[in-house]
A = this chain, B = another copy of it.
């Protein structure tokens, strides 16, 4: 294993690997921490999204709140913290919808997705590097935006579709 880079969030290593079929190859591996995301449900039929500036893509994008699980933190604690910081949301119930890899071809990122019922909204307290606006829309509108490309973030799309299927909301 050769570590090419190790930074704030991302580590890159490139290794010579022998596959189960005997084939040998260089594998480029991005090591990324465990992350959480949540679909905040507000007044039973609305969702709270974030219009967030993402420097990596050089643009704003609509997303559910998300963040990495910090050292010593449990995923559920990271979830409650992110909802509080990014959305200003106090939640009274949350439930896991999914967990898995975002891009297992090159990244170790493992994401747990929840929905969370919001009890109370107050002012968000984003970090200086988080350029975020809160957007409250109906679940129905959110689903339309998944279909028409206005929600172009995969974890957010999956949170919305899984919540609809779980609650029996028709498309």
Interface, chain A (partner B; CB < 8 A): 4-5, 7-10, 12, 14, 17, 19-21, 23, 25-30, 32, 53-57, 61, 63, 66, 98-109, 111, 128-129, 131, 143, 146-147, 149, 151-155, 157-158, 161-162, 164-166, 168, 170-171
Minimum CB–CB distance for A42 against chain B, Å: 21
Minimum CB–CB distance for A69 against chain B, Å: 14
**Contact assessment for A56 and B108 in the assembled complex, using a CB-CB cutoff below 8 Å:** yes
Minimum CB–CB distance for A34 against chain B, Å: 13
The copy count of this chain in the complex is 2
Best-surrounded residue of A32, A100, A128, A147 (most CB of chain B within 10 A): A100
Out of B104, B166, B171, name the residue touching A57 (CB < 8 Å): B104
Chain B residues near A29: list those with CB within 8 A: 55-56
Q: Is the interface of A mostly helix, strand, loop or mixed?
A: mixed
**Contact assessment for B157 and A162 in the assembled complex, using a CB-CB cutoff below 8 Å:** yes
**Contact assessment for A129 and B25 in the assembled complex, using a CB-CB cutoff below 8 Å:** yes
Minimum CB–CB distance for A1 against chain B, Å: 12
**Contact assessment for A23 and B128 in the assembled complex, using a CB-CB cutoff below 8 Å:** yes
**Contact assessment for B154 and A55 in the assembled complex, using a CB-CB cutoff below 8 Å:** no
